[in-house]
């Protein structure tokens, strides 16, 4: 059907990429919840310094995958390495879907971001400098002296992303980070995230239930099958960055999205 280089490997059928190296290697991953097999001997390579979107049928195990990789839930069997290092040797960031519960309501936005460094025992003066440097680097224009309840959902989610980024993670995981936002804010946040990605070159792994978003943001789209989840496809998204709203009507984009949709529908139809 396609040109998989090997099991678990992203492929570059749609065009050239400057040969990214794998950053996250998942080998022999197995996970069962109450007798339901979610992953059975699953293998995956996620490329370094690239944006990977994860898309697949409802309940197929998208969140479980990044939670297993990020160590939020234990694996039954298998190994996950980050450029050969263990999770404990790797700085990761995680942005949750529910921004309302993610920030501390009694802390200002600035203090919320700074807290990620305080936890890591970074001295206060240095921590403040690092938050300020990040704000400047990202060109964030929101008032960080405000409390979460004084901010819009998008602003709060941007603060969550900053809190994840301030520790300079080697990998940033995002699980449907924009799904609670309205459409206008979602469009804005996609572009903010894209800017952060281009600015930092951090390996990013985004779970999205929105195929357009998954393709728009990604260098690679990991399409999962129904459970036990397998890689249904893992195509390269060849469109130049930065992507613009006009990218959505680019024939290459439309074609790739169509192919992903076909794969998805084929997977959903399988019983
Ligand atoms: N802690 C848990 N205990 C028991 N079952 C679980 C647990 N977490 C997830 N599951 C089940 O595992 C399957 C995969 O869940 P997961 O949340 O990873 O799916 P998903 O692809 O992220 O779904 P969605 O599209 O709904 O976000 C689902 O059937 C879910 O009910
Ligand atoms: Mg999920």
Instruction: Compute CA 173 distance to the chain's CA centroid, rounded to the nearest angstrom.
Output: 4
Which whole number is the average pLDDT over 51-73? 96
Q: Smallest Cα–Cα separation from 38: which of 175, 179, 224, 264?
A: 224
Q: Worst-scoring range by mean pLDDT, 58-62, 88-92, 146-150, 154-158?
A: 154-158
* Ligand nearest to the CA of residue 209, numbered in listed order: 1
Residue nearest to atom 23 of ligand 1 (CA): 59
Residue 7 has pLDDT above 80, yes or no: no
pLDDT top residue among 188 and 262: 262
CA atoms of 181 and 97, how far apart (whole Å): 10
pLDDT top residue among 191 and 29: 29
Q: Which pLDDT score, from 0 to 100, does residue 14 have?
A: 43
Q: Which pLDDT score, from 0 to 100, does residue 5 have?
A: 42
CA atoms of 172 and 197, how far apart (whole Å): 10
Which whole number is the average pLDDT over 126-152? 91
For 122-134, write each residue's pLDDT tens digit. 999 999 999 999 8
34, 212, 252, 255 from 237: Cα distances, Å: 36, 12, 9, 11
Ligand 1 centre distance from Cα of residue 200 (Å): 31
Q: Which run of H or of E encompasses 94?
A: strand 92-95
Ligand 1 centre distance from Cα of residue 69 (Å): 15
Mutate to test the pocket of ligand 1, among 32, 39, 56, 59 (most ligand atoms within 8 A of CB): 59
Residue 170 has pLDDT above 90, yes or no: yes
Ligand 1 centre distance from Cα of residue 62 (Å): 8
For 10-55, write each residue's pLDDT tens digit. 655 444 566 689 999 999 999 999 999 999 999 999 999 999 999 9
* Ligand nearest to the CA of residue 59, numbered in listed order: 1
The ligand 1 atom nearest the CA atom of 73: 1
Domains and CATH numbers, the chain: 1-90+170-178+201-271 (3.40.50.300), 97-169 (no CATH)
Beta carbons of 168 and 196 less than 8 angstroms apart? no
CA atoms of 82 and 44, how far apart (whole Å): 12
CA atoms of 154 and 188, how far apart (whole Å): 8
Mutate to test the pocket of ligand 1, among 31, 61, 222, 232 (most ligand atoms within 8 A of CB): 61
Give strand ranges (E) for 104-196: 171-175
Residue ranges around ligand 1 (CB below 6 Å) = 33-34, 38, 58-64, 209
- State the first-to-last Cα distance of the chain, in angstroms, to the nearest integer: 20
Ligand 1 centre distance from Cα of residue 197 (Å): 27
> Residue 49: helix, strand or coil by DSSP?
coil
Ligand 2 centre distance from Cα of residue 34 (Å): 18
């Amino acid at each position: 059907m396609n040109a998989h280089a090997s099991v678990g490997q992203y492929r570059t059928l749609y065009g050239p990429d400057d040969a990214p190296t794998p950053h996250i290697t998942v080998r022999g991953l197995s996970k069962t919840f109450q007798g339901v097999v979610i992953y059975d001997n699953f293998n995956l390579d996620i490329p370094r310094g690239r944006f990977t979107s994860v898309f697949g049928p409802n309940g197929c195990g998208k969140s479980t995958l990044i939670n297993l990789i990020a160590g939020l839930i234990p694996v039954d069997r298998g190994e996950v390495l980050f450029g050969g290092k263990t999770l404990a040797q790797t700085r990761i960031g995680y942005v949750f879907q529910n921004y309302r519960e993610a920030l501390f309501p009694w802390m200002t936005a600035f203090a919320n971001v700074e807290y990620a460094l305080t936890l890591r025992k970074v001295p206060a003066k240095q921590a403040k400098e690092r938050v300020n440097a990040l704000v400047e680097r990202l060109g964030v224009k929101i008032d960080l002296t405000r409390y979460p309840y004084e901010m819009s959902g998008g602003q709060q989610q941007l603060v969550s992303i900053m809190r994840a980024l301030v520790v300079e993670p080697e990998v940033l995981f995002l699980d449907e980070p924009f799904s609670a936002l309205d459409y206008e804010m979602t469009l804005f946040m996609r572009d903010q995230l894209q800017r952060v990605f281009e600015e930092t070159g951090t390996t990013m792994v985004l779970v999205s239930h929105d195929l357009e978003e998954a393709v728009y943001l990604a260098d690679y789209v990991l399409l999962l099958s129904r459970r036990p989840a397998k890689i249904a496809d893992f195509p390269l998204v060849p469109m130049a960055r930065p992507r613009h709203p006009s990218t959505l009507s680019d024939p290459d984009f439309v074609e790739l999205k169509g192919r992903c949709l076909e794969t998805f529908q084929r997977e959903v139809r399988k019983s």
